[in-house]
Amino acid sequence: MTNTAMLAIGINPGFGNTKIVVNNGAGDEKSIVFPSIVAKAQRQVPGALEQIQTIQIKDESFWVGEDALIGSPRSEINKARLKDDYFIPALVRAGLEWLEVPREPSVAVSGLPASWADELDTATRLGELLRIAAAHTFSGSKIRIVSEPLGVLYSQVLDARGARVRPELAKSRVLIVDIGHYTVNAVVVNNLRPEPAMSFSLDLGTSTVLARIGQLLFASYEMDLTLFQIDQAVRNKGLLVSGEFLPLPPKAELVLADAGMKIVAKLTELLRGGGAIEKVLIGGGGAEMESLAQPIVDKYRQAIVVPNPQLSVATGFARLARYSINKGGQ
Ligand SMILES: Nc1ncnc2c1ncn2[C@@H]1O[C@H](COP(=O)(O)OP(=O)(O)OP(=O)(O)O)[C@@H](O)[C@H]1O
Ligand SMILES: [Mg+2]
């Protein structure tokens, strides 16, 4: 197989959702997003029309993503997820299987939150977990691990063929904000060079916002929902219960705007005295929530929410992998 025919894979196993983008070199990108939830597979009901797909890692079987909600699911929201030999591998294996990625050597880029990204042993461990997930796909080549918010930038300065685009953005001093489920990651990049002193992970992600909206839903409708169900309710701007649509309580918008303002306040504090920012790119799933992203856009007039923000980190990773294949590296 020639190098350029190799698949380029971007892997972003977030605390809330796993995002994977596969780039085939002809400008096509396939992607998948699912909750980062894993449960040990249980015995399936004989005769069921649909069986739940099990994901095998070493000697254990798992249900992953929404399928895991049927079992005893767990999500791992701290560094312990990297110690576990099964959790991240199950997420990544599931995504690759669902995307029907062939078991052939590929070039992969994955990432860590900004505050861990320069820890060599943490990055090495993530690489090891990806190899447990799919030895055929990842063993032959180097896996690059970069700081997650950089993916948002790479999704904008590289196209789907891995070619450099938007030179004006590449030449600017850019603040990148990635609003995730648990963390908001931010970096400042000047001329495509990340500034080491300007890299932050803040625990201001959407999960606290969702929990507060959950309390509002409980107060209005006496419904006790999981974070996953509250997330669905926010996306649909309400709940469908026995055929009746129950709208989100109006206060939910205020909760979102308030969380957005908290992010702005923290960023302002961290960037104080750090020099001028020319552009701001906002990505991550949290950027899909308009009322949450709006205070950041209002504060920095040069700010934009990138297209498909939730997928932007994994898209940028896949494009960086494609760029390195084009350059003849692996
Ligand atoms: N279409 C959408 N509409 C509304 N909210 C959305 C949408 N898509 C994603 N979100 C929000 O984005 C959040 C997750 O974003 P994302 O998938 O980027 O997080 P993550 O990368 O898993 O978390 P972290 O970066 O902390 O590891 C969800 O919890 C949800 O609240
Ligand atoms: Mg994320």
Which are the contacts of 136, defined by CB distance < 8 A and separation ≥ 6?
103, 104, 105
Atom of ligand 1 nearest to the CA of 15: 27
Residue 146's DSSP bridge partners are: 111
Q: What is the pairing mode between strands 29-35 and 55-57? A: unpaired
pLDDT tens string 96-117: 999 999 988 899 999 999 988 8
In terms of Cα–Cα distance, which of 208, 250, 245 is closest to 230?
Answer: 208
Question: How far is the centre of ligand 1, averaged over its atoms, from the C-alpha of 280 (Å)?
Answer: 19
How far, CA to CA in Å, does 281 sit from each of 12, 209, 222, 287, 296?
18, 21, 38, 10, 10
Q: Which amino acid is at 155?
A: S
User: On the CB side of 139, how many CA atoms lie within 13 Å of its CA?
Assistant: 7
Residue 328 gets the label, from left (phi > 0), alpha (psi -120 to 50) or beta, of left
Residue 175's DSSP bridge partners are: 188, 280
Output the DSSP codes for 245-256. EEEPPTHHHHHH
Residue 280's DSSP bridge partners are: 175, 303
Cα 265 from Cα 272, distance rounded (Å) = 11
pTM: 0.94
Task: Answer whether 111's CB lies under 8 Å from 147's CB.
Answer: yes
The pocket around ligand 1, CB under 6 angstroms, is made up of 14-17, 180-183, 205-206, 210, 231, 234-235, 284-286, 288-289, 310
What SS3 class is residue 102? coil
Task: Answer whether 208's CB lies under 8 Å from 191's CB.
Answer: no
Structure tokens at 195: 């500034």
Could you give all domains of the chain from N- to C-terminal order, each with its CATH number? 3-166+308-326 (3.30.420.40), 202-305 (3.30.420.40)
Q: Taking the mean position of all CA atoms in its chain, how far away is CA 261?
A: 22
Residues constituting the chain: 330
Residue bearing the CA closest to ligand 1, atom 21: 14
Best of 21, 177, 206 for a ligand 1 pocket test (most atoms within 8 Å of beta carbon): 206
List per-residue pLDDT tens for the chain, 330 residues long.
456 789 999 999 999 999 999 999 899 999 999 999 999 998 766 776 677 889 999 999 999 998 898 877 777 778 889 999 999 999 999 999 999 999 888 999 999 999 888 899 999 999 999 999 998 888 767 799 999 999 999 999 999 999 999 999 999 999 999 999 999 999 999 999 999 889 999 989 999 999 999 999 999 999 889 888 899 999 999 998 889 999 999 999 999 999 999 999 999 998 888 889 999 999 999 999 999 999 999 999 899 999 999 999 999 999 999 999 999 865
Cα 59 from Cα 38, distance rounded (Å) = 15
Phi (first) and psi of residue 18, to 5 degrees: -95, 130
Q: What is the pairing mode between strands 38-40 and 60-64? A: antiparallel
Report every protein residue that has its C-beta within 5 angstroms of ion ligand 2. 14, 180
Q: Taking the mean position of all CA atoms in its chain, how far away is CA 252?
A: 24
Cα 177 from Cα 219, distance rounded (Å) = 33
Question: How far is the centre of ligand 1, averaged over its atoms, from the C-alpha of 5 (Å)?
Answer: 32
